[in-house]
């Protein structure tokens, strides 16, 4: 199963969180289209059924054993089933996997292993085996450039005021500073829970890997890509934006029938993903703001595991809301077919948490973007889209605590839904259209993939070495 002259063997090793596993699956599926590439995908047995349902059939899935750690119940193999303290224990379990992965790599002998931020020890065992280590960031380049660079030294315990400011040399951008509530959220990256913090893990991965990989392109994030490259003085490879495949099957008839009652591009769809939760008072402001906008809307709200989600949703809704908007609004908790809904002819706007996948799905489906980021990289993604790309509008919020009112939400929705092109190329709607056309261009994406594979293979099969700091 070792190296051959005709095949490049790649191992994929994401952290055991589906927000991380999914981008590794998407990249695997892109690369598996090349017949000269062989892929092995590493994960825990409990994740394999879900992984195999979306992973190319040509990819080999290899089960791993998660070592026992005090306080981490056996059988929990992804963060989807875990509390935040258990997630920190899972990172400790991952650190204990080093001998297991070393034995596996000695047997598999891939040319390259793509790894996640939790595997800062991986270059030390892969390099002696002549295996290239590619740190694959599942976040935007702007996030890596703002937070994950050597200038953010965790030993100095950065404060909120420190994190409000970009690192030295950060490229001129729409982000002059972060707001207080945004910077406060990023303190987590530097917190120690009995092992390396997220920052120390991420910087070590980037510092010691053969190359850094982002799922972006220079057209969208050139200044941030070049800044990371200058900070680490090593190759930064770009896989291109991960554009989702068209959804398979039909939209559930319940939602198709409801959406079918409304005019083209008139419905606002609102979703914050499966792991982002709004507080009750903000749910009320969100709903009232959408009601004020005067357009039909479909809201999906989720709540932490262990809660009575239906009861929680009912208690959070504004008084009298259901009677007032019963014919033109739906509020739902639980999973829905987001891609199918965004592709429906009646849907014209997405209000979301600025997760990269949701942003991309809205752009390719011609849905205007209203951004309401809630944590971490979402703040920076929002600033990229609303500021640099000018392809969406961020909801105005309190600088200190992040609170937004119904008027703030309504204003943002109207800004994208009532946009008038007074100056061609200057409006959000026009910029949205430009990036939609770019992301839909299959020739562009084929070139991204081809260039990425060439760079990757040159590092593996070309002259010289690029592993670590050598």
Is the CB of residue 447 less than 8 Å from the CB of residue 217?
no
CB proximity list for 119: less than 8 A, separation 6 or greater: 13, 15, 94, 101, 205
Active-site annotation holder among 20, 115, 119, 445: 20
Backbone torsion region of residue 397, taken as left when φ is above 0, otherwise alpha when ψ lies between -120 and 50, otherwise beta: beta
Is the CB of residue 112 less than 8 Å from the CB of residue 134?
yes
CA-based nearest residue to 155, from 196, 114, 205, 107? 196
The β-bridge partners of 61 are 41
Torsions phi, psi for 442 (to 5 deg) = -65, -35
CA-based nearest residue to 342, from 269, 263, 432, 272? 269
Q: Is 134 exposed, middle or buried (0-12, 13-18, 19+ CB in 10 A)?
A: buried
How far, rounded to the nearest angstrom, does the alpha carbon of residue 469 sit from its chain's CA centroid?
28
What is the C-alpha to C-alpha distance for residues 440 and 349, in angstroms, rounded to an integer?
18
- Concerning whether 340 is annotated as a catalytic residue, the answer is no
Is the CB of residue 353 less than 8 Å from the CB of residue 272?
yes
CA-based nearest residue to 160, from 361, 402, 426, 357? 402
Q: What angle separates helix 406-417 from helix 280-293, to the nearest 10 degrees?
A: 40
Q: What is the CA radius of gyration of the chain?
A: 22
- Concerning whether 257 is annotated as a catalytic residue, the answer is no
Active-site annotation holder among 9, 111, 115, 116: 116
> Which residues are catalytic, by number?
20, 116
């Amino acid at each position: 199963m070792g190296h051959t002259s005709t095949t490049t063997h790649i191992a994929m090793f994401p952290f055991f969180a589906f927000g991380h596993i999914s981008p590794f699956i998407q990249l695997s599926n892109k690369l598996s289209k090349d017949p000269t590439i062989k892929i092995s995908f590493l994960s825990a047995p409990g994740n394999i059924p879900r992984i195999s349902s979306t992973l190319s059939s040509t990819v080999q899935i290899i089960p791993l054993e998660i070592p026992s750690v005090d306080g981490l119940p056996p059988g929990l193999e992804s963060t989807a089933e875990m509390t935040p303290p258990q997630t920190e224990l899972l990172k400790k379990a991952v650190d204990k996997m080093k001998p297991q992965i070393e034995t596996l790599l000695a047997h598999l002998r891939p040319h390259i292993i793509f790894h996640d931020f939790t595997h800062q020890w991986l270059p030390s065992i892969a390099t002696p085996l002549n295996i290239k280590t590619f740190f694959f960031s599942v976040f935007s380049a702007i996030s890596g450039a703002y937070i994950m660079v050597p200038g953010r030294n965790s030993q100095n315990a950065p404060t909120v005021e420190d994190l409000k400011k970009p690192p030295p040399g950060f490229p001129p951008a729409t982000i002059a500073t972060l707001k207080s509530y945004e910077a406060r959220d990023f303190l987590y990256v530097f917190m120690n829970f009995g092992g390396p913090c997220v920052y120390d893990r991420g910087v070590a991965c980037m510092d010691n890997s053969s190359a850094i990989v982002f799922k972006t392109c220079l057209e969208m994030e050139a200044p941030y890509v070049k800044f990371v490259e200058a900070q680490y003085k090593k190759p930064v490879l770009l896989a291109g934006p991960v554009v989702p495949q068209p959804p398979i099957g039909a939209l559930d008839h319940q939602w198709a029938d409801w959406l079918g009652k409304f005019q083209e591009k008139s419905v606002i769809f609102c979703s914050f993903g499966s792991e982002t939760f709004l507080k009750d008072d903000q749910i009320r402001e969100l709903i009232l703001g959408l009601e004020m906008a005067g357009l039909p809307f479909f809201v999906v709200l989720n709540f932490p595991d262990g809660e009575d989600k239906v009861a929680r949703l009912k208690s959070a809704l504004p008084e009298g809301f259901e009677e007032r908007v019963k014919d033109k609004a739906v509020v739902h908790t639980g999973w829905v077919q987001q891609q199918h809904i965004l592709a429906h002819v009646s849907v014209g706007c997405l209000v979301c948490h600025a997760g990269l996948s949701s942003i991309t799905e809205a752009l390719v489906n011609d849905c205007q973007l209203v951004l309401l980021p809630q944590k971490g990289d979402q703040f920076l993604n929002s600033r990229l889209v609303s500021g640099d790309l000018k392809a969406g509008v961020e909801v105005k919020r309190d600088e200190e605590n992040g609170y937004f009112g119904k008027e703030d939400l309504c204003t943002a929705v109207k800004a994208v839904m009532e946009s008038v092109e007074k100056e061609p190329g200057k409006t959000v709607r026009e910029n949205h259209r430009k990036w939609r056309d770019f992301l839909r261009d299959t020739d562009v994406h084929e070139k991204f993939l081809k260039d990425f594979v060439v760079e990757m293979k040159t590092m593996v099969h070309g002259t010289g070495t690029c592993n670590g700091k050598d």
